[in-house]
Amino acid sequence: MADSFEVTELVRLFRSGLLALLPVMDAARIRWASPGVFDPWEDIERTLFTSIVGSCVENAVPEALPPLAPYGLTGTDYSGHSFISERSLRLDGTPNVLVELRIGKEPFDTALLHELDASLAPTGRAIAKQIEACAFDLGSRTAAGVNYRGELTYSE
């Protein structure tokens, strides 16, 4: 059976999951806000991202997609990965990849994006954008170029 999600909805569900975990992290004394974020929180973030977003990418139909780029890490080349991209920046001529959600006025309300060049390598330019102003797509390289989709259909 197939189902689908908007990529923006998946990212927002991921954020909701992070927010829901904060009382538990506070009780367990696991730091989730800078300074002092350590591996346990980063492991939790990556696992949640992989579970919510990555599982849909892994089971995408009708065609298989490259594996999703890891959350919270800056790659040197995204041509071999699927990746989350902010739509309006890309349509305005700034290809980009979502690296992580950061704390702005509220926890995880700001998307940290890195600009990509034509070969899908980071240029070194970081962009911060309020998540509520973001629409996200899934990008992946195909034989015809880079393909972006706003909705992801997957098999359960």
The structural domains of the chain, with segments of one domain joined by +, span 2-155
The predicted-structure confidence for 55-91, as pLDDT tens digits, reads as follows 999 888 877 889 999 999 998 999 999 999 999 999 9
Note the helical H segments in the chain: 7-27, 39-49, 55-58, 87-91
CA distance 138 to 135: 11
Closest CA to 137 of 14, 46, 11: 11
* Total Cβ atoms within 10 A of residue 111: 26
Position 94 confidence tier, pLDDT thresholds 50, 70, 90: very high
CA distance 54 to 6: 13
The whole-chain average pLDDT of the chain stands at 94
Give the C-alpha distances (Å, rounded to integers) separating 108 from 35, 76, 155, 156. 15, 24, 29, 28
Does 141 score more than 90 pLDDT? Answer: no
Does 126 score more than 90 pLDDT? Answer: yes
Does 156 score more than 80 pLDDT? Answer: no
Instruction: Give the single-character DSSP code of 117.
Output: -
- Torsion of Cα atoms, 84 then 67 then 34 then 103, to 10°: 20
The predicted-structure confidence for 3-35, as pLDDT tens digits, reads as follows 999 999 999 999 999 999 999 999 999 999 888
| pTM for the full predicted model | 0.93
